[in-house]
A and B are shown apart, each in its own frame.
Chain A
Amino acid sequence: MLETRGLRVVGDRVLVDGVDLAVAAGETVGLVGESGSGKSLTARALVGLLPRGLRAEGSVEVGGAQIVGAAERLLRGVRGRRISLLMQDPFTMLNPLRTAGAHIAETLPGRTSRQEIARRLAEVGIDDPAVAGRHPFQLSGGMRQRVALAAALAGDPDLLVADEPTTALDATTQHEILALLRRVQEARGMGVLLITHDLRVAFAVCDRVAVMYAGRVVEQGPGAELAAAPAHPYTSGLLGALPSVERAMERLVGIPGAVPRADEVAGVCAFATRCDRVTAACTAARPPLRPIGRDRLTACVHDTAGPAGTARPPLPETALPTAPPVLRTAPPVLRTAPPAVCPAGPAGDEPLLRVEGLRKRYGAHTALGGVSLHVNPGETVGLVGESGSGKTTLARSVLGLLTPDGGRIRLTGLDVTDRAALGPRERARVHRLVQCVFQDPSTSLNPAMTVGAALAEATARAAPGDRIGVAELLELVGLPAAYAARRPKALSGGERQRVAIARALAVRPALLICDEPVASLDVSVQAHVLELLRGIGRDLGTGMLFITHDLAVVRQVAARTVVLLKGAVVEEGTTSAVLDAPAHDYTRRLVAAVR
């Protein structure tokens, strides 16, 4: 139904280099890759909607019609009826000025009727026909994604390309949408190409999975077999980097290095520079995808794996990149348990952070309805909740970025509920007590400032005589000192997040608030950053409030976990107790959604 041969996407340079894919009717194929692998461009090329300045080469056939180089008029006939694209973000994918019903109606074949629209909504699990009259802003993310799916399916396409359809959604909603996609696909006998960065999602829903790396497919095969016995070192690396939700891993292993540009590795194995098994054969020529047993293809020249059963460990021991060595050889000055830094240290058993009955309302919406929690010195507490649960409001309150309506926040015994009420000296002290790492390092770092300048600015706020040099800070987060001269733009996502962490550590805070610090990072990078944060907690004795939606991440970093739902704590306990034996219904649903 869909067949691509040697699909290339070319702009100023080659971005996608030779993708061969086939999707048959009734089949779900996964296309997995990290950011920069070219998977989204591949999706765009399939519907002939590449961004400006890019063009496709090779062949893309959809139901016999050639897409590459086709006239817009022909493409209009193909799009929606033969092939349709569901995009990532339900919050931007729907026209804000049109109702849900209008989105569906505009591509329905034949005459549109109220009944037909209601039927289409019911197909995607919306039983209330009144939703047709609602505008996107009146619907939740999950509802929007359902409406978008109904709109994408309105023209009854034979093939649906779903580009990260669940990435912007909460864990429980993700689960529902994936199940819905599967159900609709089976009911319609439609082909689905599911593009995702999430290996678990791909393995859970797809019949076959293709792994993309640096603009090409490096491995392909049935999902279960790929998971059990990866036949390409990149796939094994990805699997090894995946944090487990079931157990805390001794060491989180990322893949060393960064994804190369597709044009730089055109004639060699794209993974060679990051692979520990590299031989002359890897760089002599580009290894083609070769069959290795039933339905399995790999682009690795080595006999890494046969059919399932002859699996080998994800990565040989020698490949394990070590955590930044600095952490273990940290100068004594860095190791001082930071709470000792503040003059009025914790009295007795006073925790580092104590939040009591915190309340915050935005108009009619209750963001926090009396939340209490505490973080002990040197302890990492996970704060889990979906969007709208109030976890970010809590973080901002503790940071003094907003003033709560009620309740108390105490840091080492000091009442910091209302920052405006503090004197300048106290405020400076609080500033040194608590720091933050935000989700997206590409927006939390000033693009005009070099890394060194950003860090120097941060260290200048530290107590005199307690300052850490820029080079030391960089070393602390495992970056070479030469990075001080670079600007954020010249760094990869993971490196930027390391800089953001270094900046937060510059004043040697006793408490670090991490607001989804790895949510925008790729799996292989995420492992590095998580390992770094764990090291900081362990070796520097920094207490952490770790906000995340990802239970696997919580399992790896947090000793205790607090579950937040609609502005209230619904469950609290040691991480293993909360995740292994969830007591609250909501926690149980969360855990079920990732299993």
Chain B
Amino acid sequence: MAFVARRLAAALLLLGVLSVLTYALLALAPGDPEQVLLGPRPSTAESRAAVRAQYHLDDPLPVRYAAWLGDAVRGDFGASLYSREPVTRVIADRLPVTAGLAGYAIVLTLAVGLPAGLAAAMRRGGPLDRGITLSALVALAIPPFAMSILLLYGFAVTLGWFPVFGAGETFAERVTHLTLPAIALATGQAAVVVRQMRAAALDLAGQDYMTFARARGVGRAHYWIGYALRNTALPVLTVGGLLLAANLTGALFVERAFGLHGVGELLVSAVGQKDLPVVQALVLMGGAVVVAVNLLIDLAYLAVDPRVRHGAVAA
């Protein structure tokens, strides 16, 4: 369990560094901090004094940072300069859409990417492999926003199968609303997973233990699931996790294209409005998501690979 402890400590350290950088955003922003924190409000002597008091701007920097961090840890990032609502509530409003989109996209990515990559590796050099590899390359070359427009035009406007705009209210509506965005997001990512999976499976196919398994008459299902899938799981898990983290924080092109009020969209508008507390919270949240996903990947390694579990190899 030293492994888990080490990883947790590393994750905490990483978050600490990230919080310092995030707080530095305020100091680095052009203009006085009062001016920045006042945002669109009129700048009068009273309002400036109020802001100075509210944000303890007269205290030395480390004290200010400590106070900010103390609030942040308790989930208080202050109020949005724009909407005056607590930052946490602003983000909480947006999170379900983004989380739904990210989850949906990752399910599609794995559902398509894993079998396609495996199939390509098994038919190495054949027409199927060439087809899959080429499709993956094309999918990788189309940026998500271009894909979004193609999908919108084809399936929403021309065919009318899917809604064009918004995120829907009920669960069923949510699914239909998020289908096209999820596909747009998943296309390029599935291509990445295909390539990962193909490489991992090719590497696997050359392993003696795969031949030995067949030579002993191991059953077909067991060969594919117990051997092929499980042994390729680790590299693919790593990529899948990183893609999920990217989806949770940076699906902004797709959110924009489909008019989804998600986290990515929030980040873009917050930056545009110089809404510093929101930006700080989002940056910190994004970092926390990446750190958390990496921690989960490490735990998955622990579950899948006994060598890591027993500390036989340095992870």
A92-B208, A94-B209 given as contacts; is B307 within 8 A of A137 (CB)? yes
Q: A428 in the interface, Cβ–Cβ < 8 Å?
A: no
A95-B209, A95-B227, A137-B312 given as contacts; is B307 within 8 A of A152 (CB)? no
Pick the contact of A148: B212, B214, B220, B231 (CB < 8 A).
B212
- Asked if A84 contacts B208 (CB within 8 A), the reply is no
Interface size on B, residues (CB 8 A): 25
Q: A205 in the interface, Cβ–Cβ < 8 Å?
A: no
Q: How far is the CA of A81 from the CA of B211 in the complex (A)?
A: 16
* B218-246, CB < 8 A from A: 218-220, 222, 226-227, 230-231
Q: B44 in the interface, Cβ–Cβ < 8 Å?
A: no
Q: How far is the CA of A378 from the CA of B217 in the complex (A)?
A: 56
Q: A505 in the interface, Cβ–Cβ < 8 Å?
A: no
Q: Contacts of A49 on B, CB cut-off 8 Å?
A: 211, 214-215
A93-B209, A97-B304 given as contacts; is B217 within 8 A of A87 (CB)? no
Q: Contacts of B230 on A, CB cut-off 8 Å?
A: 97
Q: A85 in the interface, Cβ–Cβ < 8 Å?
A: yes
Pick the contact of B208: A77, A93, A106, A138 (CB < 8 A).
A93
Q: How far is the CA of A76 from the CA of B304 in the complex (A)?
A: 28
Could you give, for residues 84-120 of chain A, a 1 whenever the CB lies within 8 Å of some chain B CB and a 0 otherwise?
1101110011111111000000110000000000000
A224: shortest Cβ distance to chain B, in Å?
31
Q: Contacts of A154 on B, CB cut-off 8 Å?
A: 216
- Asked if A95 contacts B213 (CB within 8 A), the reply is yes
Q: Contacts of A93 on B, CB cut-off 8 Å?
A: 208-209, 212
Could you give, for residues 445-462 of chain A, a 1 whenever the CB lies within 8 Å of some chain B CB and a 0 otherwise?
000000000000000000
- Asked if A155 contacts B216 (CB within 8 A), the reply is yes
Residue on A nearest B309 in the bound complex, by CB: A135
Q: B124 in the interface, Cβ–Cβ < 8 Å?
A: yes
Residue on B nearest A81 in the bound complex, by CB: B217
A-B contact count (CB 8 A): 83
Q: Contacts of A81 on B, CB cut-off 8 Å?
A: 217
Q: Contacts of B207 on A, CB cut-off 8 Å?
A: 92
Main secondary structure of the interface of B (DSSP, over half): helix
- Asked if B305 contacts A97 (CB within 8 A), the reply is yes
Q: Contacts of A138 on B, CB cut-off 8 Å?
A: 310, 312
- Asked if B307 contacts A94 (CB within 8 A), the reply is no
Q: A47 in the interface, Cβ–Cβ < 8 Å?
A: yes
- Asked if A84 contacts B215 (CB within 8 A), the reply is yes
Q: How far is the CA of A76 from the CA of B214 in the complex (A)?
A: 8
Q: Contacts of B40 on A, CB cut-off 8 Å?
A: none
Pick the contact of A97: B124, B215, B217, B231 (CB < 8 A).
B231
Among B209, B214, B216, B307, the most chain A Cβ lie within 10 Å of the Cβ of B216
Among B209, B215, B218, B222, the most chain A Cβ lie within 10 Å of the Cβ of B215
Q: Contacts of B231 on A, CB cut-off 8 Å?
A: 95-97
A49-B214, A77-B217 given as contacts; is B307 within 8 A of A92 (CB)? no
A52: shortest Cβ distance to chain B, in Å?
7
Pick the contact of B215: A87, A88, A98 (CB < 8 A).
A87
Q: B306 in the interface, Cβ–Cβ < 8 Å?
A: yes
- Asked if B217 contacts A84 (CB within 8 A), the reply is yes
- Asked if B306 contacts A97 (CB within 8 A), the reply is yes
Q: How far is the CA of A88 from the CA of B304 in the complex (A)?
A: 26
Q: How far is the CA of A98 from the CA of B207 in the complex (A)?
A: 14
Q: A79 in the interface, Cβ–Cβ < 8 Å?
A: yes
Q: Contacts of B312 on A, CB cut-off 8 Å?
A: 137-138
Q: Contacts of B217 on A, CB cut-off 8 Å?
A: 76-81, 84, 107, 155
- Asked if A47 contacts B212 (CB within 8 A), the reply is no
A97-B305, A107-B217, A137-B307 given as contacts; is B124 within 8 A of A87 (CB)? no
B85: shortest Cβ distance to chain A, in Å?
49
A472: shortest Cβ distance to chain B, in Å?
42
Q: Which residues of B contact A (CB under 8 A)?
A: 124, 207-209, 211-220, 222, 226-227, 230-231, 304-307, 310, 312
26 contacts between A and B (CB under 8 A): A47-B215, A49-B211, A49-B215, A76-B217, A78-B217, A79-B217, A80-B218, A84-B217, A85-B212, A88-B208, A93-B209, A94-B209, A94-B212, A95-B213, A97-B231, A97-B304, A97-B305, A106-B213, A106-B219, A106-B226, A107-B216, A107-B218, A135-B307, A138-B310, A152-B212, A155-B216
Given A85-B215, A106-B222, A155-B216; 15 other pairs, CB 8 A cutoff = A52-B124, A76-B217, A76-B219, A79-B216, A92-B209, A94-B212, A96-B231, A96-B307, A97-B305, A99-B306, A135-B306, A135-B310, A137-B310, A138-B312, A151-B212
